Structure 1
């Protein structure tokens, strides 16, 4: 299985979302996601879309049968600490699931921090399961859009969270009192 990860932040809560995709579904989901692009668009970036279009996109994503795990942590101390906690847990969970590949939306110069976090998490495991990881620009793989959409909706709460609820397979809350 493959995981595609993106982030969001709302107030003092940091969210990391991992869209879990089976190898047999990779091509089908990429094709369907590209089919959602408007003329001239290179990628879907959910916060840039108008509300009516957002509703349409979420509905279609639910129809596609995507599944996302959301990891939440307080970022009162630091957003990077919250990301590190979430990414460590994502890495552990993916190894436990037998995942083969982890793709993270690139944060450019901060990607090295992610590589260090993932390397440390894998080094603590007796068996890493052969998990490979890389960073990619969100225009490079439409499957990153799934995590972006799901985490935006989840973090927005209210009606958006309700609409995206069928996408969210699990919510893991870290470091909460």
Structure 2
């Protein structure tokens, strides 16, 4: 589940080719949802923000982050 915002179309353009390349059996799905629709999005957003911010914020959440994939 991905938070729905003004860049849903761009999200799909990025995710689709990566999913096709790395998910051999084709069993990968995603959907966009409003932030209020799933409280777990709040936890993921906060963790991603803190990790991206770096410094002490990254230190605070580093044990929550199992893997980072750079798509650039």
CA drift at 1:140 = 0.9
Structure 1 gaps of 5+ residues are 1-102
Q: Deviations over 1:89-144 (max 9, x none)?
A: xxxxxxxxxxxxxx111123x31232233333344454212x22210111110111
Larger Rg: 1
Matched, 1:157 2:54: yes
Runs of 4+ more than 6 Å apart: none
TM-score by length of 2: 0.72
Greater per-residue helix proportion: 2
Structure 2 gaps of 5+ residues are none
Greater per-residue strand proportion: 1
Query: Aligned pair in 2 of structure 1 residues 156, 126: CA closer, same or farther (>3 Å)?
Result: closer
Higher relative contact order (CA 8 A, sep 6+): 1
CA drift at 1:147 = 1.6
Query: Aligned pair in 2 of structure 1 residues 135, 156: CA closer, same or farther (>3 Å)?
Result: same
Matched, 1:113 2:6: no
In structure 2, what is the equivalent of residue 104 of structure 1?
2
CA drift at 1:174 = 4.6
Q: How does 1:14-163 map to 2 (within 5 A)?
A: 103-108=1-6, 110-124=7-21, 125-129=23-27, 131-163=28-60
In structure 2, what is the equivalent of residue 67 of structure 1?
none
- Count of paired positions: 71
CA distance in 1, matches of 2:68, 2:24: 26
